[in-house]
Every structure is written in C-alpha cells, then in structure tokens.
Amino acid sequence: MTRMAGTGQAPILTVTLNPALDIATAVDSVVPEIKLRCDAPQVDPGGGGINVSRAIDRMGGRSTALVAVGGGAGARLATLLAQAGLTVLRLDAPGETRHSLSVTDRGTGQQFRFVLPGPEWGTLDVRAALDALAAAAPRDGLVVLSGSNPPGVPPEFAAMAAARLTPTGSRLIVDTSGKALASVAAAQGAPVELLRMDDAEAATLCGAPLPTRADTADFAARLAASGAARTVIIARGPDGNIIATPDGRWHVAAHDVPVASKVGAGDSFVAGYALGIARGWPVADAMGLGAAAASATVMTPATDLCRPADVERLFAEREVTPI
C-alpha cells in the first residue's frame, strides 16, 4: 500500500483469550428438520485479537498475537497462524479451543453465525494469562484486547490487564461485549486508552436510544469524561463510526460497498485504527484507515478479511468530519 509502505510504527500486541477455528460454508436454503448439504468449508483462525493481527498484516503492519490455545483444535489453529506468517506467542488454554460456524443461505443472502463458548477458565488460568500479557507487552506500544471472555474469566479482566500494563507504558485498546464491556464502562480512572462498542451495546449502557450522530457522540464523550477510557469509539453500523477523544469528536463514514460477509469487519476496523495510531497518524486518518479496512473486509467472502488494494482505494476515499 503506497501510503503505508515503509512507514515506521510502534509495536502492537493483540490478545485473544477465546480464539476459534472459524468454519464458513453455504447452503441453498437454511430450513429445519432436514439434512442441509453444505459447500466445502473454508477454515480460518478466528477470534477478535487474531483477526486484528490478520488484518494488520494485510495492511503491511506488524503485530504479535498472544493466543490461548488447547487440544487438537488449538493445534490446528496454531498451524493456520504459522501458515499465515503471523508472530504468535502461545498461552496454554485449560481446554479444547472452540469452533465457530457461519452458514450463508444462498437463497436469501442471510448469514447465520453459531458461536460456541470455549473452555472453562479457573483462577490460576486467569493469573497465568495476566502474567503472560504483562511479560509480552511492548514498551510504549499498543495492546489490543479483543473478543469475548472465555467462561470463568471475570468481567473485570480488562481493568486487571490495564493495571498490569501501567509500568510498561503500553496503551490498552479494549473491544469486547456483555458484562466485560459493562465492567470497563463502569470503571472510573482505569488506564484504558480506547474502548470500542457497537450502537446496540452503547444504547444498552446509556439506557436510551441514540438515534443521531450527535446523540452517539455525546454519550461517547460522557463515557470518556467518566474515566472509563481516554477515547471511546461507537460503531453505528451502515452509518459509520463515532469517536470521542480529549481533543475532539469525529464521524467516519462507512463505504458503500457490496457485502459478502460481515465476519471480522469490526475487528478489521480496530486493526486499521490501531495501525494508524501506531504509525503516529492523526486520529482522523486512523479512523479513515479503520473504516477502509472494515468496508474492505465485508467485500470478502466467509471468514476472509480485507484485501490490501481495496483498503488503499477506500482509504483514499475516506470521509471524516468533526462533530
């Protein structure tokens, strides 16, 4: 990518506690009670942090992926990561790595996603993960904690991780959901650099709909002012993304592109934004790269991610406006 080629960047560590073997297939029609004859599956290494590292690599960036894996599925996932050329630090999970299945109904174009929970973690497993994260954290770099928590990992894990990262100078980006998201949002003064969520999650936390961009920006700014995170990003689906920082608020438009699969789009946005920040870009340009990566990813089938040429073209067409 011409804009990004040869550009220096701060180190990035991605963290995936609950990875998955992502299996994608398609059928003529999804109906109950009968055997559905599926296409040959496409299998990719999946999970929030892994997808962030995969997308960063597609955009010519560098990252290290800390991944908890276990069992035969974990061994296959590790092989796929090695084949992709990613730098991986392995953390032993307390059980078999999960599978995730997405099935596209060719008749309607709808995509059905089935996500399994992953192995149960104990107190010692959580402690080992925190130790590994702290040991691997790059000095003055970025750490991206992305994806769901496995069963048994407390909702406060992100805050625990942020505290362990303080001595390293690493800035923590958190992209999670459910109780883990609520825990970060409720914190005051936790050293989280960036918290990201989608519009439905934001409305749940707010306790009211957020119909306009201004409503979303106001809520993001309130969250940041409360001490939940220095910066807050809220995804508004087809309407793009809103960011609130200490220096201002911006909206970045989503690109009008054909949608083949939405798997990994949010992770690709995080990858683009993190890569831009790691390269020292202004917030608006980092948001533009995030939007380009997300839109490029929805153009690809199944569990594939963004193509470099698409990201470069869409980045050149970015629309970022102050709010």
Instruction: List, for residues 266-323, the tens digit of each pLDDT value.
Output: 999 999 999 999 999 999 999 999 999 999 999 998 788 999 999 999 999 999 999 9
Q: Dump pLDDT digits (tens) for 27-45.
A: 999 999 999 999 999 999 9
pLDDT tens sequence across 69-123: 999 999 999 999 999 999 999 999 999 999 999 999 999 999 999 999 999 999 9
Tokens of residue 223, six digits: 């969250």
Q: Which residue has the tokens 């942020």?
A: 162
CA distance 147 to 295: 19
Q: Rounded to the nearest 10 degrees, what angle do helices 213-226 and 199-206 cross at?
A: 60
Q: Which residues are catalytic?
A: 267
Helices (H), the chain: 48-58, 71-83, 123-136, 157-165, 178-186, 199-206, 213-226, 265-278, 283-298, 308-316
Mean pLDDT of the chain: 94
For residue 254, give the 3-state DSSP assignment.
coil
State the pairing for strand pair 98-105/111-115: antiparallel
Q: Show Cβ contacts of residue 159 under 8 Å, excluding neighbours closer than 6 positions.
A: 183, 184, 187, 190, 192
pLDDT tens, residue by residue, 178-208: 999 999 999 876 689 999 999 999 999 999 9
Name the one residue in this structure whose structure tokens are 């989503």.
Answer: 254
Domain ranges within the chain, ordered by starting residue: 12-18+46-93+118-322
Residue carrying the six token digits 């698409």: 310
CA distance 274 to 287: 9
- Percentage above 70 pLDDT, the chain: 97
The Cα-based distances of 39 to 8, 29, 45, 59, 116 in angstroms read 42, 12, 19, 29, 21
Question: Where does 12-18+46-93+118-322 sit in CATH, by number?
Answer: 3.40.1190.20
Model confidence at 2: pLDDT above 80:
no
pLDDT at 224 over 60: yes
Nearest of 168, 154, 172, 193 to residue 49 by alpha carbon = 172
Strand pairing partners for 13?
64, 143
% of the chain at pLDDT higher than 90: 92
Q: How far apart are the C-alpha atoms of 189 and 272, rounded to whole Å?
A: 26
- pLDDT score at 275: 98
The phi and psi torsions of 238 (rounded to 5 degrees) equal -60, -15
pTM of the model as a whole: 0.93
Residue 303: the pLDDT is 82
